[in-house]
Structure 1
Amino acid sequence: MSNRLVILDTETTGMNQESGPHFQGHRIIEIGCVEVINRKLTGKTFHVYINPEMPIDPEAIAVHGITDEQVKDCPKFAEIAQEFAEFLDGSEMIAHNAPFDVGFMDHEFGMLGSGWKSTEELCKVTDSLKIAKDKFPGQKNNLDALCRRLGIDNSHRELHGALLDAEILADVYLLMTGGQTSLRLSDDEAGGDAGQIRRHADALQGLPLVTLTDEELAEHEAFLNMLDKKAGGSCTWRQELVEAE
């Protein structure tokens, strides 16, 4: 398995998944990807808006807010296909409801003619929705529901957007699969938030250890019980304690 993950989302001209929109001629209008290596975000992204060469359905505009006017001067898929394929090549691609995204991607690559690989020839495909359904059976497992369950702040997400949703999905996927996202930036990313995070971490190193009383431990356990109940039995802090033991 590749230690390089590409977390991906797409936005499209049509949203009717049940009837297979990519077979009705619908097209991709936005691709957003973030790169994760060794379970850390690197800061490297692939993000592009695309001229779909067809009208965008009003129902789709209501979801992602992207209009015909906004993408009329954007590159066509053929113009970004090589760079996109190179970004995916050799990675493990994570997408939420991956068959939807892969169906569109393969439709786009197929329209370019012979000589283009399918998505699964370029990269390993992992469906994070399937992982969520296995982990939280019988519950809502869209991104908004998973953010609430896992304690991820997505209050800035008013409309769907491919890059924003890919960034949110990166947090969701890493938490669902046991990863840590509080120190999110890779070691080779310098300055800005990365430097500030490291300074805070360094400052914590010299602090004395404090032993909790039995009463304080009981209060902490009660607090975890409350979080566990609200999270539907998936309190992240409790899971990490269990794994550590």
Structure 2
Amino acid sequence: MKTKYSRKIVIDIETTGMNKVDKIYKNHKIIEIGAIEIIDRSITSNTFHKYLNPNQEVSDEAFKIHGISNSFLKNKPIFLDIYDEFINYIKNSEIVVHNEGFDISFLDYEIKNINNKFKKISKICNIIDTLKIARDLFPGKKNNLDALCKRYNVLNVNRKLHSALNDSKLLSEIYLRMTRVQKNIDFSHNIKNEFLLINNNDFDKKLKVLKTSLQEKEKHIEYLNNMKNYHKCLWIK
């Protein structure tokens, strides 16, 4: 599907933990934001990366995932300090995340805490959720970042611990590989969970017509006559 934005921002976050209340993640804070810019399907060097002081403790469960300690975050800026820079970075773009319900919910919650008048990110940017795309393409299979890296041959040897910037880089590669052949989706066969991807460029090529020569026609007739005589012999036997 063609969109009005040629600029996409791939975002990943790390947090102090998780606590989902009324379908929104609350009572925990963002401690790292990593973002990668894609323009016209090319990854640029214009990145956004911040560690944040959450002014609360990182849970033991979260620390095991990302390895970011309370002492490391002590002198880092708070979300309010980087808010304007972050909004200016993502505006006029599409946002690509792996699990919109997690990343965007956390970002909206942080923004709401400092600016009640600000609209949700989904109101100012179109959201592309690669987890939803992956579940449509690979129903019933694992579709986490590690599984997709393996499926799309994206090297992730450095991913011993989660890192927002590194994970956004991996997701950028996955997104580009996941969508590079998708021109149209044909639902005419009404097959559940099956995407028939059509590359329009294939239909622009003219097929070369090869005509049979007189010699080839004569050999074909000779072959058919031999086959006819062979079957007659089998019938007589």
Normalised by the length of structure 1, the TM-score is 0.71
Maintained 8 Å contact 1:90/1:124: no
Cα distance in 1 between the residues matched to 2:164 and 2:10: 10
Q: Which moved more, 1:170-179 or 1:32-41?
A: 170-179
Kindly provide the CA deviation profile for residues 127-173 of structure 1, in whole angstroms up to 9, marking residues without a partner as x: 11000001111110000000111111101111000000000000001
Matched, 1:104 2:79: no
1:46: which partner in 2?
48
Cα distance in 2 between the residues matched to 1:122 and 1:93: 10
2:11: which partner in 1?
8
Cα distance in 1 between the residues matched to 2:55 and 2:200: 50
Kindly provide the CA deviation profile for residues 180-219 of structure 1, in whole angstroms up to 9, marking residues without a partner as x: xxxxxxxxxxxxxxxxxxxxxxxxxxxxxxxxxxxxxxxx
Choose from 176, 179, 189 the match for 1:177. Answer: 179
Matched, 1:118 2:141: no
Cα distance in 1 between the residues matched to 2:157 and 2:177: 18
Cα distance in 1 between the residues matched to 2:156 and 2:18: 22
2:222: which partner in 1?
none
Bigger Rg over Cα: 2
Cα 1:29–1:87 change in 2 (3 A) is same
Cα distance in 1 between the residues matched to 2:200 and 2:171: 23
Maintained 8 Å contact 2:12/2:97: yes
Maintained 8 Å contact 1:11/1:31: yes
Deviation at 1:38, TM superposition (A): 0.2
Stretches (4+) displaced over 6 A: none
Consecutive unaligned residues of structure 2, counting only runs of 5 or more, are 182-196, 203-237
Deviation at 1:87, TM superposition (A): 0.7
Cα 1:16–1:146 change in 2 (3 A) is farther
Choose from 168, 181, 190 the match for 2:170. Answer: 168
Q: Which moved more, 1:168-177 or 1:14-23?
A: 14-23
2:141: which partner in 1?
139
Kindly provide the CA deviation profile for residues 32-59 of structure 1, in whole angstroms up to 9, marking residues without a partner as x: 0000000000111000000001101000
Maintained 8 Å contact 2:18/2:25: no
Consecutive unaligned residues of structure 1, counting only runs of 5 or more, are 180-238
Deviation at 1:99, TM superposition (A): 1.3
Deviation at 1:6, TM superposition (A): 0.1
Deviation at 1:123, TM superposition (A): 1.1
C-alpha RMSD over aligned residues: 2.4
Cα distance in 2 between the residues matched to 1:146 and 1:110: 32
Aligned to 1:31, the other structure's residue is in SS state strand
Cα distance in 1 between the residues matched to 2:116 and 2:20: 27
Deviation at 1:114, TM superposition (A): 3.2
1:186: which partner in 2?
none
Normalised by the length of structure 2, the TM-score is 0.73
- For these two proteins, the number of residue pairs brought into alignment is 187
2:37: which partner in 1?
35
Maintained 8 Å contact 2:19/2:25: no
